[in-house]
Structure 1
Amino acid sequence: MSRQRKLLSQILRHEPDLVGLTLGRGGWIQVDDLLRALKKAGHRITRDGLSQIVAESDKQRFTLSDDGRRIRAA
């Protein structure tokens, strides 16, 4: 799980273009867009896996929007 967490940190903090993404205002990105881009780049993370990574992040590195549709680095 830590490899996936590190990858998410890299994408959401530093290099969204690594998987062909551009962060929106406030650093937010649609979860569906993120998961689709990760899959296309050969990284399989499910929605449940993503939720688990967010919940288990010891330093609360990620924030999901209240409706769970967007994510950003905290």
Structure 2
Amino acid sequence: MTSHKELTRISKVLSLVLRHQPELMGIELDPNGWVDVNFLIQQMNVHDIAVNRMLLDEVVETNAKKRFAFSPNGKQIRASQGHSIAVELGYVAQIPPDFLFHGTAEKSVASILNTGLEKRDRQQVHLSQDQKTAIQVGGRHGKPVVLKIHAAAMHQAGYLFYLSDNLVWLTDHVPVQFIDRA
């Protein structure tokens, strides 16, 4: 069994390469964000990151946020969401629950309540199904604040929502009128 520290290190490399900068490893993602598993492993090893299929399987399986997914045949891998590069993940619009949550840092609240939640350098805004997850997300950036999103009302107003493979809700923008402090 691989150490937690090593699994985290590999996971961070995968996040960087599969979500933001595949060129760092000399790979190119297909239009849906997939890359051949064997080629990824080869390129990681070329760049002095010792990985084999067993270790890659362990990283994907044990990642608490389920950030990565294998294709049904297991021959390709991609990040489930969070890309800053253009990929089409193929998620189908879904009806969201009445409320979703967004974790942020206290320092960002005033701006969000002024302009709404914007995707910025990501492809979409990320929302959580529960406050506990939102607190964890917000805590990565400072003192956490949870915002309550009136998702059903947004949906009724014509906004689209998508559910990623790792159960993160995605939308393009959350206008101010649909946001409350939780």
TM-score normalised over the length of structure 2: 0.40
Q: What amino acid sits opposite 1:58 in the alignment? A: A
Runs of 4+ in structure 1 off by over 4 angstroms are: none
Secondary structure of the residue that 1:67 maps to in structure 2?
A: coil
The CA RMSD over aligned residues, in Å, is 0.6
Q: Which has the larger radius of gyration?
A: 2
Structure having the higher helix fraction is 1
Counterpart mapping for 1:16-27 below 5 A? 16-27=22-33
Q: Does the alignment pair 1:54 with 2:56? A: no
Q: What amino acid sits opposite 1:17 in the alignment? A: E
Give 5+ residue unaligned stretches, structure 2.
1-6, 81-182
Distance between the aligned counterparts of 2:16 and 2:23, measured in 1? 10
Secondary structure of the residue that 1:60 maps to in structure 2?
A: coil
Q: How many residues align?
A: 74
State the match for 1:14 in structure 2. 20
Q: Does the alignment pair 1:34 with 2:40? A: yes
Aligned identity (percent) is 35
Distance between the aligned counterparts of 1:36 and 1:45, measured in 2? 8
Q: Does the alignment pair 1:45 with 2:88? A: no
Structure having the higher strand fraction is 2
Structure showing greater relative contact order (alpha-carbon pairs closer than 8 Å, 6 or more residues apart): 1
